[in-house]
A and B are shown apart, each in its own frame.
Chain A
Amino acid sequence: MKLQAFLGAAAVAVTLLGTTALTLPAFAASVPDGTKLAADQTFNYRVLDNINSLDPDIVEDVDTSYVVGNLFEGLYNEDAKGSPVPGAAESYDVNKDNTVFTFHLRKGAVWSNGDPVKASDFVFSWRRVVDPKTASNYSYFPGLVGVKNADDIVAGKMPPDQLGVKAIDDNTLEVDLNKSVPYFVRSTAHATLFPIPQAVVEKFGNDWTKPENIVGNGAYVLAENKPGERVTIKRNPKYWDNAKTVLETINFLTINDENQGVTRYLSGEVDQTDVPAGQYPQMKQQYPNEAHSVPQLCTYYFDINMTDKQTVPALKDVKVREAISMAIDRDVIVNNVLQGGQIPAYFFTPPATADFKAPDVEMAKMSQADRDAKAKQLLADAGYGPDKPISFTYIYNTSEAHKKIATVVSQMLKEKLGIQMTLQDMEFATLLDKRHQRDFEVARDAWCGDYNEASTFEGLMDSTSSQNNSGYANADVDKWLKESATSEDPNQQYLQIETQVAKDIPIIPIYFYTKVFLQKPTVGGWPYDNVEQVWYGKDLYKTEG
């Protein structure tokens, strides 16, 4: 699982404003007038797995980032639509090139032990993230968003104190970037760039995140941490915006099984839970005010091995790949198998991505009957048919939904094209390893945007990307990607890339994700419009129901 990040190109406005200091209104629970608040302000949130760490520098999965995002606060937060709003910083200045950001920290903001939050706490945390000794999975993040020298420090070529961040004084933090990053402010809402209390971390070492030691600057403080069962956090009376906080307690309850999650939702033990694949229509009918389906920045797709390790010669023929893609009826998968409002995908980047103009792909406009006819034609053109049948193996990780999709696709290919697709399921770690080694013919894959901007998807098509599992290599695509980084309107390049990928078919996009969940109508303030589903307890409230 990946950590949702928060960059984006939408900060074009920021660029235009140049060096003007920005002060945006802070966001907190805004309870509509006349709302009757519940006496018990406890929010019970289901998490899939154990919370992996409460150290912001270490956090690596989505659920954990929600816990940490409530215990700590970055320079900026996200509002209900995903735009940046001031958090630990009140405002910032930026130079013309978007390479130097100066943040003005909120005066009077304190840690939960009463110590002031200082610029040096940010410096300490950021240096610690990139320090090879910390060995954080996310140590690449500061480099990704352009913080000067970050990559060299991770590689051990420079000491951590050379990182492009410094405390001008207790309330002023200056960040130097090695490239122009207009949306840098958004990235400060990412857990990896949160501050940590230097004095506490130095005193307790690795034990600083234990309930008895941990100190944060967020709206909540840790009350209990029972790994595998629950994490409980309570309102922080020392938080600067505490007056506007409504929720008193948040319980993060670990429930591994989705169906059990629904059971515990129905019994009132959790206020929100995911809907298992295929159950959305029934839930929507039974609980029309509680079942939700909102777009998510993720794409489900098949990788076709494009390297020399591909053992099925037919798959090296682009006509065959196109025939397979054409014959897969996405509507059936979305409407009959998943039934959660997912969107059929004919290109890679989700249309919900900020500022992304969806490409006009020919295939999307055809009827399935036309696609099927074309698929047969393509296969015949490629010289395959009943007397020269194609068979390949499709690998996926064990899961009910993946299995259903695989089964349906194999039937479609068998019936329409006579292609024999053998299914092979395996545990997740094995699939990852096989994909990484390119030891497959066709494999299941999925990607969720690291941030709300198309480059987090397009970047995967780079021949050198470590995420390019199909092994696709196209010199033009690489060139366009380079150009897009400095382009006035990167959508131009994105369109070229998407069109080229749709032509070469190293991947077969299947659908764009939605987050399908049940939520009690008593939960107020939920950020449904935030495509990354980033939420803060301080923005929520419970009504009488």
Chain B
Amino acid sequence: MILFVLKRLAIAIPTLLVLIILSFVLMKVAPGNPFTGEKNLPRDVLNNIYARYGLDKPLWQQLLEYIWNIVAHFDFGPSFKYKDRSVNEIIAQGFPVTLTYGFWAFIVAAGIGISMGVIAAVKQNSWADYLAVGVTIGGQVIPNFVLAPILVLIFTLWLHWLPGGGWNDGKWNYVVMPVIALSATYLANIARITRSSMLEVLHSNFIRTARAKGLPGWKVVTKHALKPALLPVVSYLGPVFVGMITGSVVIDLYFSTGGIGQWFVNSALNRDYSTMLGVTILLGALTIAGNLVVDVLYAWIDPKIRY
């Protein structure tokens, strides 16, 4: 197992490098630059700016220096657009925001989704099952960019319970709607996967054996059925977790949380090269790490898998 983890880590580094190089090149190829605005700057002014940010150097040198600063100093450079802060600072400020609501959204989606799926499967064709299926379909067909305004309409404009946006250092009432909006679709997917997987397991021979031995129903479910039924759910949860903690562009933009998704979009539109690269690398690294964790978990849950 340790060897497996080490092997995976060894692959992760070149993967990240490829990601950096690709993003770097794509960004430079995209038309425009961070300093183009409605106002065209005089040549001398632009030259000074290019010199200040090292954009006057050849591309390969820029790339090498960029990678070197990350490897040697863990320094992602200054933001080209938000000029009195570095990319490290932007990430340090934005990532905790995203991590917070992403984490809660994950707990909500996984907790409620799995419970709902299990109950629906165990009580198949009961009202609980129909309710779960209804909620699942609802959650799947309403994307978060539709759900978010609906939530705001209900909780902010009609009931006046929750603020319509902002973050306010993560005070609970600012976190509720981003969490619901982000978790809904995932919750629905998790419930659906759990339900169908659970149904399949409940109809398998070893469960029939367990029941035949006279075990009580709840014990059959929790002790025997749950673990194998969760296998497909776990493989789904890994990327979901990474997706959630790295934020959602829609949620960040709509609720103005100051989270990392907002920076991702704005830095791309502004051609803020350094911020965009920094955020891309962060998301890339987290995705790779997330997948690694899932693989390890898989080995632990499923005895059939050996490395």
The residues of A with any CB-CB pair to B shorter than 8 Å are 1-2, 49-55, 58, 60, 132-137, 139-140, 151, 154-156, 206, 209-210, 226-230, 253-257, 259-260, 263-264, 266-267, 269, 427-430, 432-434, 436, 446-448, 466-467
- Give every chain B residue within 8 A of A266 (Cβ-Cβ): 157
Inter-chain contact B258/A52, CB cutoff 8 Å: no
**Contacts A229-B258, A254-B256 hold; do A429 and B45 have CB atoms under 8 A apart?**
no
Inter-chain contact B270/A429, CB cutoff 8 Å: yes
Inter-chain contact B269/A227, CB cutoff 8 Å: no
- Give every chain B residue within 8 A of A58 (Cβ-Cβ): 83-84
Inter-chain contact A133/B52, CB cutoff 8 Å: yes
Interface residue B88 (Cβ < 8 Å from any Cβ of A)? no
**Contacts A52-B82, A135-B52, A263-B157 hold; do A432 and B258 have CB atoms under 8 A apart?**
no
Cα distance A447–B39 in the bound complex, in angstroms:
9
Within 8 A of A (CB), among B24-42: 30-33, 35-42
**Contacts A54-B84, A155-B44, A434-B31 hold; do A227 and B38 have CB atoms under 8 A apart?**
no
**Contacts A256-B262, A269-B164 hold; do A430 and B253 have CB atoms under 8 A apart?**
no
Inter-chain contact B93/A227, CB cutoff 8 Å: yes
Cα distance A467–B39 in the bound complex, in angstroms:
7
- Give every chain A residue within 8 A of B93 (Cβ-Cβ): 226-228
B248 to chain A, nearest CB (A): 14
- Give every chain A residue within 8 A of B165 (Cβ-Cβ): 253, 255, 260, 263-264, 269
Report, as a range, how many residues of chain B touch the other chain: 35 or more
The residues of B with any CB-CB pair to A shorter than 8 Å are 30-33, 35-42, 44-45, 48-49, 51-53, 81-85, 90, 93-94, 97, 149, 152-153, 156-157, 160, 163-167, 252-254, 256-259, 262-263, 266, 269-271
Contacting residue for B45 out of A139, A255, A260, A436, CB 8 A: A139
B46 to chain A, nearest CB (A): 9
Cα distance A267–B157 in the bound complex, in angstroms:
6
- With both beta carbons as reference points, the residue of chain B lying nearest to A57 in the complex is identified as B83
**Contacts A137-B45, A206-B84, A267-B164 hold; do A432 and B36 have CB atoms under 8 A apart?**
yes
B95 to chain A, nearest CB (A): 12
B interface SS class: loop
Inter-chain contact B258/A137, CB cutoff 8 Å: no
Can you list 12 A-B contacts (CB < 8 A)? A135-B51, A228-B252, A228-B263, A229-B256, A229-B257, A263-B165, A264-B163, A269-B164, A428-B269, A429-B33, A430-B32, A467-B39
- With both beta carbons as reference points, the residue of chain A lying nearest to B34 in the complex is identified as A429
Inter-chain contact B166/A269, CB cutoff 8 Å: yes
Inter-chain contact A255/B256, CB cutoff 8 Å: yes
- Give every chain B residue within 8 A of A263 (Cβ-Cβ): 149, 152-153, 156-157, 164-165
- Give every chain A residue within 8 A of B254 (Cβ-Cβ): 257, 260
A72 to chain B, nearest CB (A): 14
Cα distance A54–B271 in the bound complex, in angstroms:
21
**Contacts A226-B93, A227-B93, A255-B256 hold; do A154 and B83 have CB atoms under 8 A apart?**
no
Most chain B Cβ neighbours within 10 Å, of A135, A253, A427, A433: A135
Inter-chain contact B160/A267, CB cutoff 8 Å: yes
Cα distance A145–B31 in the bound complex, in angstroms:
32
Inter-chain contact A433/B81, CB cutoff 8 Å: no
- With both beta carbons as reference points, the residue of chain A lying nearest to B94 in the complex is identified as A228
- Besides A227-B94, A429-B36, 9 new A-B residue pairs in contact (Cβ under 8 A), listed by A number: A52-B81, A135-B53, A140-B42, A151-B44, A264-B156, A269-B164, A429-B33, A433-B33, A466-B40
Inter-chain contact B156/A50, CB cutoff 8 Å: no
B207 to chain A, nearest CB (A): 50
